[in-house]
Structure 1
């Protein structure tokens, strides 16, 4: 049986076989490539979506540092940014599993939902950690055929 971290790690493009190693990777600082992978998967047509996770100026500075010195810790995401990204990757992974393909999962993530008081699931997830279980609850009910 696969550990919970495996599908999330795959979306992030990192090696973490269990939740504790995923936590350690986030604390150490996820690479910018993880941000690029998740952004491309979740919002491929939105070239500003990454700024929902890292501010524009910070991301530009980190990309410049990364290009100049590769492997510099300044070119990694902070623990807070990495946590936000991993949270999004976790819900994205579940949405793709429930809906069966990325296009349907994307529609779910970016359309207002009545159980979220008309808010979009992606916004609820990115707002703070408390939003993730709410969206996962909706996905769980969809997965198991309950009314949503």
Structure 2
């Protein structure tokens, strides 16, 4: 189980808006994560790709939310939180953000030669598959 505090930190939910439990994170997602959480994830995953965030939230929706200071929907927040969970473990396994990013954007045989980032964005089951690959790498099984 990934530490909730680490996921919250990646999402920028610290200080006053901190999350102290799994249910606290669930509540924050259901109530709408700030758009800045999406911006943070996009910078971590693809610092050189200003369009990456639009894979999670369509551009028009993003622009509207950003302009009106409207929070992400629950569904959008779940996509962002999935990426945060995977990011934490990838950095832990690979030891650096650059190496984690390389893993996430390189096709992987255990994912039918799909890129882990694409599988994670697709749905929760995809995220679980990527987490299993990372846990295999962390604990020494073939991955």
Q: Mind listing any 5+ residue stretches in structure 2 that lack a counterpart?
A: none
| Cα-to-partner distance string for 1:30-79 (whole Å, 9 max, x where unaligned) | 0011111111111111111101111010001111112xxxxxxxx10000
Runs of 4+ in 1 over 6 A off after TM superposition: none
Give the structure-2-normalised TM-score.
0.94
Distance in 1, matches of 2:128 and 2:64, equals 33
5 Å matches for 1:1-148?
4-14=3-13, 15-66=18-69, 75-148=70-143
CA distance in 2, matches of 1:18, 1:40: 25
Corresponding residue pairs, total: 138
So what's the TM-score if we normalise by structure 1?
Answer: 0.91
Inter-partner Cα distance in structure 2 for 1:38 and 1:64? 19
CA RMSD, 1 decimal: 1.0
Structure whose CA Rg is larger:
1
Unpaired segments of 5 or more residues in structure 1?
67-74
